[in-house]
């Protein structure tokens, strides 16, 4: 539950910060009463923030996980990692990603980066210790498939669109509610308007997170299929089964967690906020293909 809370808190914090900035601009005389002007500001802040985050994703991932990029292999294992990713990247038709290792006990890996030809694939030390090479190969194929599918860009685009609509509709609905409470005030808004917008930012932000997470779960099925194509379905199934032993445990920071391979555990309402489908569903989907 802590993981879900942190994920939501991160997205809502961005929306609240944007809301504060827009409210300050409005207080200093910037007219956001016109819907055309408002949608422009919403798009600039909503899309801009999302793509700035994407542009910094590799740097943030390296700093937050302590990932060390393999510049020159120091041993046979690192040479194997580089060669495997290179072979898979060529098969997937993308540029060679940076390959890194980060120190973490769980079985996990992630991919990030702004473009298909400027990406990062990182694996945990726990994954290298706890998996057979066939299984690691499948995990790498899964991550390379994320890059080849353009999932990082698509996620940023979707998040930006959701942020834009949250910012816009929270203020449109806020004006309607404020006018209704105040008896259809002419010109200007009351202090209650800012409170209403703050609450609506949070409510609409939660709904937006559900949509983004639904897409995230779908792209995991697609990346599993890509990993099976690059490494073999049997290896991909075996890798997911091995991941099941950790029950979705992840020490990845929020910035990279949605792009990790580690599975999720949840049901009911909690499932709506999961970035990954349950491992058993992923395995079953692969076996049906």
Element (H, E) at 208: helix 191-231
Q: Are 197 and 38 in contact (CB under 8 A)?
A: no
| Residues 126-152, mean pLDDT to the nearest whole number | 95
pLDDT for 285 equals 93
Would 127 be classed as within a structural domain?
yes
| Residues 269-280, mean pLDDT to the nearest whole number | 82
Q: Are 210 and 274 in contact (CB under 8 A)?
A: no
pLDDT for 258 equals 52
CATH number at residue 95: 3.30.2010.10
Rg (CA), the chain: 21
N-to-C CA span, the chain: 32
Assess whether 283 and 173 both reside in one domain. no
CA gap 205, 200 in Å, rounded = 8
Assess whether 62 and 52 both reside in one domain. no
Assess whether 228 and 277 both reside in one domain. yes
pLDDT for 186 equals 59
Would 209 be classed as within a structural domain?
no
Q: Are 261 and 139 in contact (CB under 8 A)?
A: yes
pLDDT for 157 equals 86
| Residues 263-273, mean pLDDT to the nearest whole number | 63
pLDDT for 119 equals 93
pLDDT for 12 equals 57
Assess whether 159 and 136 both reside in one domain. no
pLDDT for 252 equals 59
CB atoms within 10 A of CB 112: 28
Helices (H) and strands (E) in the chain, counts: 11, 4
Share of the chain above pLDDT 90, in %: 37
pLDDT for 68 equals 94
Single out the residue in 193, 225, 250 at which a domain terminates: 193
Residues 6+ apart with CB under 8 A from 192: 178, 181, 182
Q: Could you give the number of structural domains in the chain?
A: 2
Would 198 be classed as within a structural domain?
no
pLDDT for 5 equals 44
Assess whether 127 and 244 both reside in one domain. yes
Assess whether 43 and 161 both reside in one domain. yes
Would 207 be classed as within a structural domain?
no
Single out the residue in 131, 161, 193 at which a domain terminates: 193
The parent domain of residue 183 ranges over: 11-56+153-193
pTM equals: 0.79
Between the alpha carbon of residue 145 and those of residues 67, 107, 126, 203, the distances in Å are 20, 18, 22, 34
CB atoms within 10 A of CB 34: 9
**Digit-coded pLDDT (tens) for 46-96:** 788 788 888 888 888 888 889 999 999 999 999 999 999 999 999 999 999
Assess whether 140 and 126 both reside in one domain. yes
Q: Are 212 and 162 in contact (CB under 8 A)?
A: yes
Assess whether 141 and 247 both reside in one domain. yes
Catalytic residues, by residue number, are 143
Within 13 Å, how many C-alpha atoms sit on residue 2's CB side?
A: 5
């Amino acid at each position: 539950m802590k993981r879900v809370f942190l994920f939501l808190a991160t997205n809502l914090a961005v929306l609240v910060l944007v809301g504060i900035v827009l409210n300050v601009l409005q207080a200093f005389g910037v007219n956001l009463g016109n819907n055309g002007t408002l949608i422009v500001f919403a798009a600039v802040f909503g899309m801009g923030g999302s793509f700035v985050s994407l542009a910094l994703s590799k740097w943030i991932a390296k700093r937050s996980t302590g990932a060390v990029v393999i510049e020159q292999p120091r041993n046979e294992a690192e040479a194997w990692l580089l060669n495997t990713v290179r072979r898979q990247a060529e098969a997937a038709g993308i540029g060679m990603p940076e390959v890194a290792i980060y120190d973490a006990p769980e079985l996990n890996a992630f991919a990030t980066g702004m473009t298909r030809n400027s990406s990062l694939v990182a694996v945990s030390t726990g994954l290298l210790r706890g998996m057979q090479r066939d299984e690691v190969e499948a995990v790498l194929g899964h991550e390379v498939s994320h890059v080849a599918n353009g999932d990082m860009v698509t996620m940023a685009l979707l998040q930006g669109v959701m942020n834009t609509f949250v910012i816009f509709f929270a203020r449109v609905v806020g004006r309607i509610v404020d006018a209704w409470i105040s008896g259809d005030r002419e010109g200007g808004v009351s202090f209650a308007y800012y409170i209403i917008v703050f609450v609506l930012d949070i409510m609409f932000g939660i709904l937006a997170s559900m949509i983004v997470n639904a897409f995230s779960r779908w792209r995991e099925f697609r990346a599993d299929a890509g990993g099976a194509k690059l490494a073999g379905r049997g290896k991909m199934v075996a890798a997911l089964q091995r991941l099941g032993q950790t029950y979705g445990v992840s020490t990845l920071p929020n910035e990279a967690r949605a792009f990790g391979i580690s599975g999720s555990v949840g049901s009911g309402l909690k499932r709506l906020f999961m970035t990954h489908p349950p491992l058993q569903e992923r395995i079953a989907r692969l076996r049906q293909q």
